[in-house]
Amino acid sequence: MHFHVAASSSLPAKMVRDAVEVYRSVGRRALCPSLSLNSHLCYTRAGCEERAVEMLALCRSYREEKKKWSPLDRMSLRQAEAAHRQAQATATGSAAGDEGGSLEAEPDEDEAGSDQSGQKRWRPMLLLYQKISCVYRGVNFMKPEAAQEFLQMVQEEAQKHEDADGRCIALCIQAEAMRQSEDWDEALRLAGEGVALQPELTTAGLKTGSLHFCHLVLAYSHYALGRPSLAQEALTKLSSLSVGDHFFQKQVEFKATHLRFLVGAEFEESYREISVAARSKERLVVEVQEGTSIQWDFILSNYTVDFVAMFTPATAKEGDAPQELQRVEQHQAQDGPCEGTSGVLTAGRLELVFSNTFSMLRGKTLQCRLQPDGLVVHQEAG
C-alpha cells in the first residue's frame, strides 16, 4: 500500500477500489473484504463520505458468503461491523460504546475463540495508519520526507486518543515505523513508552497486539544498538505476556524467532559462560593499555550473585587499594542484564569479581561480555 493512502486525495482509495473490482470480475473473493475496507478507510480519510459508505457496504456484503476467510479478511469483516455500528450510533445520536452497545466486533458464530482485533472503540485513522506501518510495512518504501510526514500524521491522530489502549496503538505504529527506518534510538524510546503503558491496558487493548509489537521493536532496537543482553530480556518479557491470541500473533512470533536466532549467535560468539561454585568467587582479569575504555555486561541464569569491578593502575604501590568502579550486591536474575563501564583508563589491571560466597550449596551460572573486542582476558578462581 503506497504512503499516499493516508493523504487527503481520494485517488489512492479509487486505486484500491479498482483492485477490488478486478478481483470481483474474475470471481475471486480472497482479499476482497480487506481491500474494500482499506478503500473505505482511504475514502474516510479523504472526506468522501458517499464512497466510504459504498465501500463499507461492499465489505459487509462478504459476511454472507460461505467461505473460509483468511485471518486478515476475517478481521476486516469484524472491523467493518464495528464501523457500521459506529455509523448507526452517530446517525441516531446515541453514544457509541455505551453499555450494551460495544463497538467490539462480534466473533463468528461458527468460529468460537477465533482471533479478534480487540478494539472496542472504532478508531478508523489509527487502523489505517497501523495497516500502513505494521501490516504492509509501508515505511520501508517511503522516502525520508514522506516517512516524516506520515509520523506527523500519526502524532496528530494520537492526540485525539487519551486512553491507554489508543495511546499504545499510536506508539506501536510510530515505533514500528522507526524500526523500518532504522532510527534505533527513536524506535527504542517510542517502544519503551508503549511498554510502560502495560499496567493501564484493558484486555481489549492487549488483544490489539500493540503491546507485543512494542516489546518486539524494543528487542530489535537493543540488538541493533549492540545490546544483545537487553534484547534477550525484551524477548523474554514478550514471551511472558499473558495474552497470546492477539491480531499480530503470527507476525510478531515470526520476527521474534528470527531475532532469537540472531541473539543466540551473538551470545555464542561474544559471551563467555562463567560458573561460580557455592562458597566461592570467580574473576575475569584484563591487562589494560593506557587510553582504553572497557564496557561489560552479564546475565545471570538464576538466583543471585554479588559483583564488583575494580581497577589497579600499573603505577600503584604495594598495599594500595584498587579503585572500585562498580559494586552490585545480590544482583537477581529477574532484574535482567547488569551493565557497567570503566571510563578511559590508564595502564593497569581490571578485575571483574563474581562472588557466590553467601550460598552454601547452590552454584550460579552467568554469561559475561567485555568490549571492545580483542581484549586479552583470563579467568581466575578465588
Roughly what angle, to the nearest 10 degrees, separates helices 228-239 and 210-224? 160
Q: Same domain, yes or no, for 278 and 374? A: yes
Is the residue at 123 inside a domain? no
Q: Is residue 36 part of a domain?
A: yes
Q: Determine the residue type at 250.
A: K
Whole-angstrom distance, CA of residue 257 vs CA of residue 242? 18
Report the pLDDT averaged over residues 344-372. Answer: 94
Count of structural domains within the chain: 3
> Residue 293: which pLDDT band, with cuts at 50, 70 and 90?
very high
Same domain, 221 and 278: no
Confidence of residue 120 (pLDDT cuts 50, 70, 90): low
Range of the domain at 75: 1-96
CATH number at 228 reads 1.20.190.20
pLDDT of residue 9: 60
Sign for the CA dihedral angle at 120, 126, 128, 133 comes to negative
pLDDT for 111 beyond 50:
no
Residues 243 and 366 in one domain: no
pLDDT for residue 215: 97
Predicted confidence (pLDDT) per residue in 335-348, tens digit: 889 999 999 999 99
Q: Is the pLDDT at 332 greater than 90, yes or no?
A: yes
Distance CA 353, CA 307 (A): 6
Strands 292-300 and 323-332: unpaired
Minimum mean pLDDT among 34-38, 95-99, 139-143, 269-273: which range? 95-99
**Can you tell me the mean pLDDT for 140-169?**
94
Are residue 262 and residue 280 in the same domain, yes or no? no
The secondary structure of residue 320, as a DSSP letter, is: P
Q: What confidence score (pLDDT) does residue 244 get?
A: 67
The pLDDT, as a whole number, for residue 256 is 92
Domain CATH code at residue 357: 2.60.120.680
Which of 243, 270, 297 is a domain's end point? Answer: 270
